[in-house]
Amino acid sequence: MHSAHDSDWQTTEPETATGQANASAASVSPEEIARFGAIAREWWDPTGPMRPLHAMNPLRIGWIDRHLPLRSRKQSPLTVLDLGCGAGLASEALAKAGHDVLGMDASAEGIAAARKHLEENPLPAGAGSLAYRIGSAEALVTEGVTFDAVVALEIIEHVTDPTAFMSMLASLVKPGGWVFVSTMNRTTRAFAFAKVGAEYIMRLLPVGTHDWRKFVTPSELGQYGRQAGLRLEDIAGMTPSLLGNGWRESRDLGVNYIGAFTRG
């Protein structure tokens, strides 16, 4: 295998007539791709359909960055894959934190929105690099590309086979590297808040965004990781702050949570 620094991040997968990159059904559901692609142009609107992710993003990125090993100025930045990056909310934040980031998504519309936002809002001085690619993780596995860290935020509850998905994440990270996964717990409270409340009552998300039956419990996530050869190092709940629009880290894993794994 070769590192991400050796690969051409700008290369994109061949696109079909519908504008969607070829992807294996093992990890990507065409219905899910189409659903999120339909709102790609609104992704960067902090008051739009992705406003919960805007509010949650500082917590997610701060938590991830805190777990990643520090590099001296003489060392190259960490390479990070943001898989299922959508329009690049996490990708841009990770690059601003100083990492070399590849944002990858199977939605051509999502990647187009990510590239447009980056073009209109260049990264500041001192940031890492950022490139986007249309395609599936399977393409990277075939190419033998590996990264210092792989990030999959709010993705596993949308894939068709979470066991195979975690194995794929493990194959994309270097030995000793980190894998970060955030998702929602399959609890009655999560159904009430993340499904009924967010989609039908408060209209924070488009109706149909989530299927509660595909939510993942912390024990299941840990099991998927172990089966993939990953070790769960840390896990934390993500809870909306009562004092504002932000989110805070908590011990409450009942709805949203994030886990950090390492590959031995």
Question: Are 98 and 127 within 8 A, CB to CB?
Answer: yes
Closest C-alpha to 230, from 152, 158, 154: 152
CA distance 119 to 97: 18
Question: Would you list which residues are annotated within the binding site?
Answer: 60, 84, 105, 153
CA distance 48 to 38: 13
pLDDT at 222: 98
Residue 83 sits at the vertex; the CA angle it makes with 225 and 247, to the nearest 5 degrees, is 80
pLDDT at 189: 84
Question: Are 236 and 249 within 8 A, CB to CB?
Answer: yes
pLDDT at 72: 66
Which residues touch 71 (CB under 8 Å, ≥6 apart)? 77, 78
Tell me which CATH homologous superfamily contains domain 2-263.
Vaccinia Virus protein VP39 (3.40.50.150)
CA distance 122 to 139: 28
Question: Would you list which residues are annotated within the binding site for S-adenosyl-L-methionine?
Answer: 60, 84, 105, 153
* Mean pLDDT, each 10-residue run in order, the chain (264 residues): 45 35 49 69 85 91 94 83 95 97 94 96 96 93 96 91 95 97 90 55 52 87 98 96 83 95 96
Closest C-alpha to 151, from 258, 241, 69: 258
Rg for the chain (alpha carbons), in Å? 17
- pTM, two decimal places: 0.84
Phi, psi angle pair for 176, to nearest 5°: 85, -5
Question: Are 83 and 126 within 8 A, CB to CB?
Answer: no
Closest C-alpha to 141, from 227, 26, 32, 221: 26
Say which amino acid occupies 17: A
pLDDT at 35: 64
In the numeric block, the tokens 């991830």 are attached to 64
CA distance 32 to 153: 15
